[in-house]
Amino acid sequence: MKIVVLIKEVPDTWGDRRLNSETGLLDRAGAEPVVDEINERALEVALTYADAQTGTEIVALAIGPASVPTSLRKALGMGADSAVHVLDDALVGADITLTAQVIAAAIKRIGFDLVIAGNVSTDGGGSAIPSMVAELLGVPGATYLNAVEITVDAVTGRRETEAGSFGVKAALPAVISITEALPDARFPNFKGIMAAKKKPFETLSLGDLDITPTEESRSIVLNVTQRPARTAGTVITDEGDAGQQLADFLAKNQLI
Amino acid sequence: MTEFATDSILVLVEVSPSGAVLPSAAGLIGAAAAIGSPVALVVAAPGAGPAAAKAAGEFGATQVLVAERPDAATSLLVPTVDSLAAAAALVSPQAVLLSHSVQGRDVAARFAARTGSALAVDAVGISRDDEGPVVHHSVYGGSYLVDSAASSGAIVLTVRQGAIEARAAATKPTIETLEVPASGMRDVDIVDFEEVVVASSRPELRGAKTVVSGGRGLGSAEKFALVEELADVLGAAVGASRAAVDAGYVPQSHQVGQTGVTVAPQLYIALGISGAIQHRAGMQTAKTIVAINKDANAPIFEIADFGIVGDLFAVVPQLVSAIQSKRK
Ligand SMILES: Cc1cc2nc3c(=O)[nH]c(=O)nc-3n(C[C@H](O)[C@H](O)[C@H](O)COP(=O)(O)OP(=O)(O)OC[C@H]3O[C@@H](n4cnc5c(N)ncnc54)[C@H](O)[C@@H]3O)c2cc1C
């Protein structure tokens, strides 16, 4: 089975994430770029399957700027067999629709039985890519899975939505996305990191994928404003009457 | 055939496999009515259409398109995406609004990919300028406000649940049956479905005026009941940190933060929560923040309007009785 795992490089949520107020794009001078945690969990799902099934091939795919190879090397160090990076200046500021088109084209070129993505990234927050990619590939997209079981020809799982809990099943080839209810990823060990250096790593441009970012409808940023940061208020140490003082504070501010 | 206004805004009303209309429809139709003429689409299993259409009218849709699909309860997304594509072709709307719910995101994504439309996600508001609809977003935990629009064509957008307060007046809508050509796209099968049972009378976390959240400091699922007790005294919704969810104190649907729900209540009370940056991303735009934590260096105090360094198991019971005696 060939599994493609989607990797997104994001600004570390522990850092100071900033937007450029003119372009609306991420200010890369802010937080350090890292593999989004949810993608590590997605890779873990693939690795767990590969541990039990010989003959499983895992390809890590990312699109993004020149820093992305570090993130893909981490995926290789954890156990992915090869990596593909789509790098092209024309992708700076790409909207979700173009991003999905590029990812789908790269996946078609790689070939796949299953695509595994995270359900939502920590910087975009759109959750749209997995379903868009499924649509463009013409396959089922079983997203938001809290539990996953992969077999030779299908994937089953549970999906919680606002309406309720769904048991779902998709015949392969398919796309899935997983939630953070799934286990944390393993760490790359020394052996893995050394082996990663010899694994196949391919870099593709939009030309390689026959994509010309056309003038079709795109989502564009009109305006960006920064909100003033919050400041600390009163902090008291409980000396036996803090509950009472808090009740007074809430009453004074008409909150009770 | 029915005419559709040039300022039509197409709204997908989310219907559960059992035919229930989800409450997100009220805000979506309210938002649509503020910038144009709301046309609602309901996709339901055969027989469930009329009741869902009536519910859409109660939320203020003036026109409702009904697509009854035999596979609506067995096929996860494609029946709805096919219906939305047919409705958009018929109505030629200026914008297509969906909920930023799990189902809404997926339908929006597939529809935008199929039609090559611009997609704007997790909107907190929508307005209009001379050139058409403008979408408002709150980014990086509310640190930035970003406006976006489509370069051309109708924009497809998902709207954050609980973010829109506007409500449209109830109507008796004109109801029309929508013919939907099947795309034949392969889909996910629904194997089973358990409807959410609203077990408590507590408000929904999204859109709640007051939220009381508990973290790892609660120590166990049993002791987490103290969070619920305070919430009930205040008529508040119950939230939690990821650590509390991971420890099994409460279900994931209560998680506030980066990878959970974003809330913006009048009052947010954090109990035994350290205030990690990823938690703050989901609550720092609350009007008033109160924190109780025994560690004076906990980062939550950096953003709290009123902070108490103390043992929550001593402070909260006293707070509960103080509130009760003020009300007498
Ligand atoms: C990609 C990513 C996404 C994340 N998304 C989220 C998210 O959506 N939401 C989220 O919450 N976290 C998220 N996190 C996790 C986050 O980093 C923190 O680990 C988490 O918020 C900690 O939860 P906590 O404050 O309950 O636990 P802790 O950090 O362990 O804090 C517990 C606090 O309780 C206090 N305490 C203990 N006992 C008492 C007592 N008796 N009285 C008073 N105070 C007491 C302690 O002093 C401490 O400050 C994410 C992390 C990553 C990497």
**Common-topology check for domains B8-177 and B210-326:** yes
Give pLDDT tens digits for B188-219.
999 999 998 776 789 999 999 999 999 999 99
Distance from the A2 Cα atom to the nearest Cα atom in chain B, whole angstroms: 20
Q: Give the pLDDT confidence score for residue B46 in this predicted structure.
A: 95
Task: Report residues of chain B scoring pLDDT below 70.
Answer: 1, 199
E strand or H helix at A51, and its extent?
helix A37-52
Distance B235 CA to ligand 1 centre (A): 24
Q: Give the pLDDT confidence score for residue A215 in this predicted structure.
A: 64
Give the residue extent of every domain in chain B. 8-177, 210-326
- CA-closest residue to ligand 1 atom 29: B274
A27 or B181, which is more confident: B181
Q: Do A13 and B258 touch (CB under 8 A)?
A: yes
Sketch out chain A's domains with CATH numbers.
Answer: 2-217 (3.40.50.620)
- Token output for B255: 């998680």
Which residues sit with their C-beta closer than 6 Å to ligand 1?
A: A 13, 37, 122; B 215-217, 241-244, 255-260, 272-274, 276, 278-279, 282, 292-295, 298, 311-313
Q: Do B258 and A122 touch (CB under 8 A)?
A: yes
**Residues in Cβ contact with A116 at an 8 Å cutoff, skipping those fewer than 6 apart:** A3, A4, A5, A6, A42, A43, A45, A46, A176, A177, A178
Predicted complex ipTM: 0.95
Q: Sorting pLDDT into bands at 50, 70 and 90, what band is A171?
A: very high
Distance B275 CA to ligand 1 centre (A): 6
Q: Give the pLDDT confidence score for residue B1 in this predicted structure.
A: 60
Q: Do A120 and B193 touch (CB under 8 A)?
A: no
Task: Order across the sheet with A154-160: list the strands.
Answer: A201-204, A82-86, A57-63, A2-6, A114-118, A174-178, A141-150, A154-160, A164-171, B189-195
Residue of A nearest to B82 (CA): A135
Q: Do A217 and B76 touch (CB under 8 A)?
A: no
The DSSP code sequence of A168-207 is: EEEESSEEEEE-TTSPPPPPP-HHHHHHHTTS-EEEE-TG
User: What residues does B147 pair with on adjacent strands?
Assistant: A223, B136
Q: Give the pLDDT confidence score for residue B314 in this predicted structure.
A: 98
Q: Do A225 and B314 touch (CB under 8 A)?
A: no
Q: B8-177 has which fold? A: Rossmann fold (3.40.50)
Give pLDDT tens digits for B245-270.
999 999 999 999 999 999 999 999 99
Alpha-carbon distances of B4 from B60, B86, B93, B175, rounded to whole Å: 16, 14, 8, 13
Alpha-carbon distances of A40 from A37, A47, A200, B243, rounded to whole Å: 5, 10, 19, 19
Q: Hey, which CATH number is domain B210-326, 3.30.160.250, 3.40.50.1220, 3.40.190.10, 3.30.465.10?
A: 3.40.50.1220
Q: Give the pLDDT confidence score for residue A212 in this predicted structure.
A: 87
Q: Give the pLDDT confidence score for residue A124 in this predicted structure.
A: 83
Distance from the A241 Cα atom to the nearest Cα atom in chain B, whole angstroms: 8
E strand or H helix at A39, and its extent?
helix A37-52
The structure's pTM equals 0.95
- Determine phi and psi for A234, rounding to 5 degrees: -85, 135
> Which chain B residues have a beta carbon less than 8 Å from that of A123?
140
